[in-house]
Chain A
Amino acid sequence: GAVVSQHPSRVICKSGTSVKIECRSLDFQATTMFWYRQFPKQSLMLMATSNEGSKATYEQGVEKDKFLINHASLTLSTLTVTSAHPEDSSFYICSARGGAAGQPQHFGDGTRLSIL
């Protein structure tokens, strides 16, 4: 149980393109989803928290207009990197959690984004 599917796993695109990443909870309702960015050999950096039906809460320093997050249903959240540039290249990971505080987050397999 508690499977999170993230798609696509790898994206290579040209500078200026917008890229959408999907995160789905397959067998549970995710009241909260999280989006992280991870650089090689580093820890996960939380970008934003999204609750179903609400606007996402972004961490300090994360550009809201650059990284658009939508959490329209209890099983789907999307991250859109708008007008991507090479500095946006990174590994992006989503996680989902349902239920009460203290329940573990369940992670997707991540998306490797490369902007040429």
Chain B
Amino acid sequence: AQTVTQSQPEMSVQEAETVTLSCTYDTSESDYYLFWYKQPPSRQMILVIRQEAYKQQNATENRFSVNFQKAAKSFSLKISDSQLGDAAMYFCAVEIYNQGGKLIFGQGTELSVKP
């Protein structure tokens, strides 16, 4: 069975600073996709970034980037120049290819941003 682990229940960052949220996963499959979703207090799930496992290059979306280490099964999210609006629950998720599109979510990391 596949599992996703986010070992940091809570994180805090100063506005304009950089923070890294960790995520590890366990799967015996070689073809899969990785996602980070953000859930602000409104509880809407918002896609932050996506990574294909077969791509070595780390995905980047503006201030958000990932450090994807396939051998270590690690998929951390780096938020640069943190803003107050980044405060949210962040979920890491894995989709295994050919398993119907199911996402396996981690437990989440609650990020607070201090002004």
Residues on B close to A: CB < 8 A?
A: 33, 35, 37, 42-47, 50, 52, 91, 95, 97-98, 100-103, 105-108, 110
Contact = CB atoms under 8 A, between A and B. Distances in A.
A49 B101 contact: yes
B102 A101 contact: no
Q: Which of B45, B97, B106 has the most CB of A within 10 A?
A: B45
Interface stretch (A62-70, A72-80, A102-110): A102-110
Interface string A83-104: 0000000010101010001111
A104 B91 CA distance: 14
Contacts of B108: 42-43
Contact of B106 (A43, A103, A109): A43
Given A102-B52, A104-B35, A104-B50, A46 B103 contact: yes
A42 B110 CA distance: 10
A49 B95 contact: no
Interface residues of A, number: 24
A34 B91 contact: no
Given A51-B100, A110-B43, 20 more contacts: A34-B101, A43-B105, A44-B91, A44-B103, A44-B105, A49-B102, A91-B43, A93-B45, A101-B97, A102-B33, A102-B50, A102-B97, A103-B101, A104-B35, A104-B47, A105-B103, A107-B37, A107-B44, A109-B43, A110-B44
A101 B91 contact: no
